[in-house]
């Protein structure tokens, strides 16, 4: 167990030691709130480097506490382990001990990963950590090897995507107690499922950010982000805070990996070094386990995926792939999709090299984006046709299956599940969920209205929503009905068995024929004829092994010259009983005959 310098440390028989980093304050006191008895107010002792410390022999799990800094407050602990009464309430001491049963657990190899992204609050009717347990059979039967939880750090209110978190060490009490999150991870491991956590280190949420009055040094007021002042990642103690947080989730909760949100929003001159330290800290927390460490970085900095001697991240969420496929199948051209004016060409580059732009100018971002990916294996890219962002940032939260025909949806699924990159499903995708996934919050009314207005203005790039008279039809993020509408309707899984069968079949074939193949760019062949894509994976000896032919055209095509029926065995087709030619909007997987 790691000895943390941020947050309380309870030791049975020895009480609790409290520590607070408040370098701008000389007088720090702790207010202790025992479950029964009188409130205690005690002075803390200054320590080197701006810390303040106090050990209290009888302070035990269940006690609540707050801080006073130079008479201001009381404030909860920014490194709190539990906020039972939400972000403005006192912090709670917890016992970190848990009876783990996963001593023999080992992550599956990264190359075999199939990720399932989910939001704890809307994945089940219960909306809790333990509620997820009821759906593990479904995920295992489907062929999932890792679930990825959207952020769980404590956020304001009873509903949120999680990216407004303000207590980085405290799982939100709405989802359950800390030991229940540990139970979820432990049970997942017993079922052969890895668990990845989405963490947000580029900002604190706007409500409940008590690091601001306690330690302004934590922030860089000169750097503005969409969420307020940037994080001061040039300060060594600030870096230590986030390194500890990364280690905390791996060590104390046994998570198998982390997904680092929007790293492009970190201050640019220190970004690479900061991320390198986070990566190394996470790996050091579990030196005997392989971890899945993934970044979200629309800046497409391939250096994060290269081993420079200090290691590399395992992969990056590949927005390029989503955007090119989405424009190809929906025809939408606004916003970020304007960077893919000829989506067939963009998708061909992405399939070959991972990124579309590798230094080219982005009209959407108004700057050059990307660096070359030469030599980077294709399993460093996480590919998806839906995600929380890509669905939830739409005004009406439509999923891809709401926007295209079933034939087109099948073709897109067959394409991305074939790729040597790592596939990621978004919850409900596998049974063509009827429910949207909308943006929802439970902020105070003033802040909630500002958020509502800001998001409405973001939709102006979409021609459909330039008429402000139509904005009233967009669900208000503050309304509980918006949250409720986003809950998965599991009856869809019974209604759409054909969709589940599609994903099961493809993931089964992927495990059988693709998992062990070479993931180097030179071992993956891509040929294109208009909107017809022919993908061939080769083995380590350079021999064609399996192929996917995906036709996004509205016209049928003859089989590509390279894929003649006499030399290949059909593994899967989206249109059973079809003639040798490839029908419009269809896909096939094939195995080369020996």
pLDDT tens for 104-118 read: 999 999 999 999 999
* 269 close to 337: Cβ distance less than 8 angstroms: no
Give residue 379's Cα distance to chain centre. Answer: 17
Assign 541 a pLDDT band (cuts: 50, 70, 90): confident
Rounded CA-CA distance 491/493 in Å is 5
**What's the average model confidence in pLDDT over 43-65?**
96
**What's the average model confidence in pLDDT over 256-261?**
98
If phi > 0 it is left, if psi is from -120 to 50 it is alpha, else beta; for residue 162 that is: left
Taking the alpha carbons of 107, 110, 111, 113 in that order, is the dihedral positive or negative? positive
- Which residues contact residue 61 at a Cβ distance below 8 angstroms, ignoring those fewer than 6 apart? 10, 92, 93, 94, 95
* 14 close to 176: Cβ distance less than 8 angstroms: no
Name the residue ranges covered by the structural domains of the chain.
9-92, 111-466+474-510, 520-592
* 250 close to 284: Cβ distance less than 8 angstroms: no
pLDDT for 580: 82
pLDDT for 578: 64
State the alpha helices, DSSP H only, in 312-469.
319-330, 343-353, 388-392, 400-403, 406-418, 445-458
Please list the active-site residues.
261, 296
- Position 401 pLDDT exceeds 70: yes
Q: Do domains 9-92 and 520-592 have the same CATH topology?
A: yes
pTM for the full predicted model: 0.97
Q: Which CATH class is domain 9-92?
A: mainly beta
Element (H, E) at 213: helix 211-214
* 519 close to 545: Cβ distance less than 8 angstroms: no
State the burial class of residue 427 (Cβ atoms within 10 Å of its Cβ: 0-12, 13-18, 19+): buried
- Position 586 pLDDT exceeds 90: yes
Parallel/antiparallel/unpaired status of strands 361-362 and 64-69: unpaired
Backbone angles phi, psi at 5, to 5 degrees: -95, -15
- Position 27 pLDDT exceeds 70: yes
Give bridge partners of residue 374 from the DSSP assignment: none
pLDDT per residue over 84-103, tens digit each?
999 999 999 999 999 999 99
**What's the average model confidence in pLDDT over 121-150?**
98
pLDDT per residue over 219-257, tens digit each?
998 888 777 788 999 999 999 999 999 999 999 999 999
Looking at the structure, give the CATH architecture of the domain made up of residues 111-466+474-510. Alpha-Beta Barrel (3.20)
Q: Which CATH class is domain 520-592?
A: mainly beta
What SS3 state is found at 92?
strand
- Position 1 pLDDT exceeds 70: no
Average pLDDT of the chain is 95
pLDDT per residue over 338-391, tens digit each?
999 999 999 999 999 999 988 889 999 999 999 999 999 999 999 999 999 999
> What end-to-end distance do the CA atoms of the chain give, in Å?
52
Element (H, E) at 504: helix 497-513
- Position 153 pLDDT exceeds 70: yes
pLDDT per residue over 432-446, tens digit each?
999 999 999 999 999
Rounded CA-CA distance 561/132 in Å is 47
């Amino acid at each position: 167990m790691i000895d943390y310098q941020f947050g309380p440390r309870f030791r049975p028989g020895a009480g609790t030691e409290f520590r607070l980093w408040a370098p701008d304050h000389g007088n720090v006191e702790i207010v202790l709130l025992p479950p029964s008895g009188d409130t205690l107010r005690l002075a803390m002792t200054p320590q080197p480097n701006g810390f303040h410390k106090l050990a209290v022999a009888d302070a035990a799990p269940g006690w609540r506490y707050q801080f006073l800094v130079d008479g201001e407050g009381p404030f909860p602990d920014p490194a709190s382990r539990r906020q039972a009464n939400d972000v403005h309430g006192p912090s709670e001491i917890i016992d970190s001990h848990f009876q783990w049963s996963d001593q023999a657990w080992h992550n599956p190899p990264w190359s075999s990963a199939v990720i399932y992204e989910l939001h704890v609050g809307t994945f089940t009717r219960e909306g809790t950590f333990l509620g997820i347990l009821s759906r593990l059979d479904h995920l295992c039967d489907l062929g999932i090897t890792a679930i990825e939880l959207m952020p769980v750090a404590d956020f304001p209110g009873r509903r949120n995507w999680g990216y407004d978190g303000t207590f980085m060490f405290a799982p939100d009490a709405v989802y359950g107690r800390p030991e229940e999150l540990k139970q979820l991870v432990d049970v997942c491991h017993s079922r052969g499922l890895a668990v990845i956590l989405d963490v947000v280190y580029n900002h604190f949420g706007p409500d409940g950010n008590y690091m601001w009055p306690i330690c302004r040094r934590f922030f860089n007021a000169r750097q503005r982000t969409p969420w307020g002042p940037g994080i001061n990642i040039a300060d060594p103690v600030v870096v230590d805070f986030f390194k500890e947080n990364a280690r905390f989730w791996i060590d104390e909760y046994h998570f198998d990996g982390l997904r680092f949100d929007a790293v492009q929003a970190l201050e640019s001159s220190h970004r690479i070094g900061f991320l390198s330290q986070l990566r190394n800290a996470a790996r050091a927390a579990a030196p005997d386990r392989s971890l899945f460490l993934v970044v979200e970085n629309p800046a497409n900095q391939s250096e994060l995926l290269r081993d420079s001697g200090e290691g590399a991240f395992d992969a990056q969420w590949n927005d390029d792939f989503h955007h090119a496929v989405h424009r190809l199948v929906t025809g939408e051209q606004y916003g970020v999709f304007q960077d893919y004016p000829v989506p067939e060409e963009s998708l061909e580059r992405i399939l070959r090299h991972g990124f579309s732009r590798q230094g080219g100018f982005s009209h959407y971002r108004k700057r050059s984006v990307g660096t070359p990916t030469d030599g980077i294996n294709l399993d460093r890219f996480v590919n998806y046709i839906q995600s929380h962002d890509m669905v939830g940032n739409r005004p009406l939260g439509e999923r891809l299956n709401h926007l295209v025909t079933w034939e087109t949806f099948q073709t897109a699924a067959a394409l991305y599940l074939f790729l040597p990159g790592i596939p990621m499903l978004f919850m409900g995708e596998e049974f063509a969920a009827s429910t949207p996934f909308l943006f929802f919050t439970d902020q105070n009314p003033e802040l909630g209205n500002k958020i509502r207005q800001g998001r409405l203005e973001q939709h102006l790039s979409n021609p459909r929503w330039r008429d402000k008279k139509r904005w009233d039809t967009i669900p208000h993020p503050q309304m509980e009905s918006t949250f409720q509408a986003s809950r998965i309707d599991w009856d869809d899984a019974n209604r759409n068995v054909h969709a589940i069968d599609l994903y099961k079949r493809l993931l089964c074939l992927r495990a059988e024929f693709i998992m062990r193949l070479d993931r180097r760019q030179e071992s993956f062949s891509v040929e294109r004829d208009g909107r017809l894509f022919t993908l061939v994976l080769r083995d380590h000896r350079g021999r064609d092994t399996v192929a996917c032919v995906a036709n996004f055209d509205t016209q049928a095509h003859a089989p590509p010259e390279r894929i003649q029926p006499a030399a290949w065995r059909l593994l899967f087709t989206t249109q059973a009983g079809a003639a040798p030619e490839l029908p419009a909007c269809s896909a096939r997987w094939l195995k080369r005959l020996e």
